[in-house]
Structure 1
Amino acid sequence: MSTLREELTGAVRPTLYSILLPPGWRKVAPAELASEDAAAPSLAAMRAAGRPELILQVRGMLSRFRAALRDSRAFDAYLPPAVDGVMLPAGLLVAPFVLPSGVDWDAAASRMAKGAEVERPEGTETSMLVWRRAEKVADDAATLVGRTSHYLVPVDEPDTRRALHFQYTVLVADSAQIADAVDTLEGLGDLMMATMRWRPTPA
């Protein structure tokens, strides 16, 4: 159970979990995403190739990650591999969550979803609540669509008020031509979360 101090401050004890990653994906410290050097090699490659839309894509992705880090106190982050020196426009963040007093999990998820439909996926070994949101990001060079899948996973313990909040984001060009590729990249989030398991806490 969480303590009063944890509930008031939002600080919670580390909760151990495991998740299987696609080939090439890696776990990084969230602070790495906040560094201006995080995407320097990719940005240099895109400038050399004359791809301003990809530069916007990467900068937009990192901006979203940094905002999520500020808002959620994320403690784990996962990034895909680079292809030809360019970052794939996706990533997964993990943050703690404490259920507010007097609110159940469905109500909490509905508040966080801000009008998006919340579902409980079938066929997952670990119980979770899922919702998805999309928004556009644009400048003079391109229009991008950011799609974020949220997975709220209550800790497997009696009367728990603790959870982990996984955020999987894909940021891509707003184009019907790449819709299938986007759906495939977005589906990786569901595949990864289907493997999410709680690990025993060491004594």
Structure 2
Amino acid sequence: MRPIVAHKGAVRFRIVTHGRAAHTSKPENGDNAIHQMVEVIDWLRERGEPALSMRGHPRLTPPTFTIGTISGGVGVNIVPDRCVIDIDRRTLPTEDPAAVLAEIDGWLADLMRARPGVKATREDPYISERGLDGPVDGSLVVAVQSAVAKVTGGSVDATPDGVPYGTDATHLWGLAGIPTVVIGPGDIAQAHTIDEWVDLNDVRQCTEVYYEVMRSFVQGEWS
């Protein structure tokens, strides 16, 4: 239940390679889009992973670049004329989504200059969310810290922290300017798994934290 004041954003988009279909008995008559995509993936990983690992934030790990899905071809006896990958680019709050996409476009352009046989295009993003980077000493943060300490008896570290995933706080604070702290029960290690679960004691304690924050606000202890 540490107060979260920073988290990453996400830009998700597709890259498509374009080939030419042919019967696999004469593959030389076609242009294999999957083979092209292999080159795209290798190129992006070779350039992207080292570059991203050098970028930092005081409360967050470096940004990441993950290829989550790949699809291509319509039959085993047909040279595929199209291959598609979905990319999840987790961004730091300081990174602008437009600049992230421009960087990808630059890497693709470099590849196609170096390998004229590769024909790849990037589609517009279907998710583009900036990260959260809130203050660590705002009145809401201090109120949440006090509530956590009171409810848990100081057994939980209430130091403001950052997380690598995203939340709706980016809309409240980043877009609307509403002071926001992310705090809830459970652990991200148990999220999005087959046996996703949360400890009921965490739920009870977190409910008490929410109550204490609201009580202290209503009684004028912070604003």
Normalised TM-score (structure 1) = 0.33
| Higher fraction of helix | 2
Normalised TM-score (structure 2) = 0.31
* Structure of larger gyration radius: 2
